[in-house]
Amino acid sequence: MEVEEETGPGYVARGEGAPILMLPGMDGCKEFWRFQVEELSRKYRVVA
């Protein structure tokens, strides 16, 4: 299944379904969640 991805300065949004917002904290960035976004975006709309 092809998953559409949108990105911007400081965020990535991927997938469809119920939304999940992932916040990495002060020392993190959107890449901190890359493996979780890949897996969770199969069922959810993930914004990190």
The predicted pLDDT at position 44 comes to: 96
CA 48/CA 19 separation, integer angstroms: 11
The predicted pLDDT at position 3 comes to: 57
Query: Model confidence over 2-42: pLDDT tens digits?
Result: 556 777 777 889 999 999 998 877 777 777 888 999 999 99
Radius of gyration of the chain (CA): 10
The predicted pLDDT at position 43 comes to: 95
The residues spanned by each domain of the chain are 5-47
The predicted pLDDT at position 14 comes to: 92
